[in-house]
Chain A
Amino acid sequence: MNLSIPEWEYLGVILAGVVLWLLGRLRPDIVAPFGDLIARIMHHRNTRLAVMIVWWWLGWHFFTY
């Protein structure tokens, strides 16, 4: 595959993310399930508001530019 360095980096992170996500489902004694991590992150309103602003900006950035 003729990919540039940043493309290899993005691909590597995505693959590592999939492996982590699978590991969380199959071996929760090693890595906590992703849903549990999100529940923990989103426990406080402070973080929920900030995360939602970033999520919305991503949508705006990709769909309206």
Chain B
Amino acid sequence: MKRLLAGMNPWLPPMIYVVIFHVMRGAYGDAAIFAVGSLVLIADWKKWIQWAMPERPIFGRLPVFIVILVASSVLFFSERGGWQDVTLLLVLAPISLSLVYYRDHGPKPSSTTVMNRTRWTWLTLAVIMCVSELFAYIWASAFKDDKTYPTISIIVNPVLESPYGRGIFLALWMLIGVGLLQLWRKK
């Protein structure tokens, strides 16, 4: 068993748990996405796909802004949930995955006191957000009242119904992705 699980991505068990959670709440689309995500992690762990590891990609600001502008325009001029939105998101999935698939450079440097403090503080905030969202979802389902117990989706939905809201939200979401990918970070 120990040999079978050797080298497993530590995020795989939480990912599978999320699949089960979405199946239990009847969100089969979300469950399918995380199931595919779990398969990606397994494929990487078991080296099913032989992929030459490139160096971390770094892009200029202009091409990134052009991609964000084009993507925002697609959402601005199309209906929410239309085939254009679906196609855009499906195109972005392999691109974003390929951008994180680069060579690791040695073990992570040891953490400092400041970094430990920062990590735990941000983690606490993230957990508070997730627990608030989870309880809002549970109360809204139990009392059939998503006005008193709105989840983030319920709050954001009216904004996303507007083409301007969709365009701006997509730009924000993509900028978060650019930040996570650190496409502009030289070090």
Residues of A participating in the B interface, judged by any CB pair closer than 8 Å = 4-7, 9-10, 12-13, 16-17, 20, 24, 28-32, 35-40, 42-53, 55-65
Asked whether any CB of chain A lies closer than 8 Å to the CB of B60, the reply is no
7 A-B pairs with the lowest CB-CB distances in the bound complex, closest first: A50-B11, A53-B37, A48-B100, A9-B132, A6-B136, A32-B118, A46-B9
| B54-87 interface code vs A (CB 8 A; 1 in, 0 out) | 0000000000000000000001000011000110
Contacting residues, chain A, for B147 (C-beta < 8 A): 4
B contacts with A, residue count (CB < 8 A): 68
Alpha-carbon distance A31/B100, docked complex (angstroms): 26
Residues of B participating in the A interface, judged by any CB pair closer than 8 Å = 9-11, 14-15, 29-30, 33-34, 37, 40-41, 44, 75, 80-81, 85-86, 88-89, 92-93, 96-97, 99-102, 104, 108, 111-112, 114-115, 117-119, 121-122, 125, 128-129, 132-133, 135-136, 147-153, 155-156, 160, 166, 169-170, 173, 176-177, 179-182, 185, 187
Given A6-B150, A52-B100: A13 and B129 interface contact (C-beta under 8 Å): yes
Contacting residues, chain A, for B129 (C-beta < 8 A): 9-10, 13
Chain B contact residues: helix, strand, loop or mixed: helix
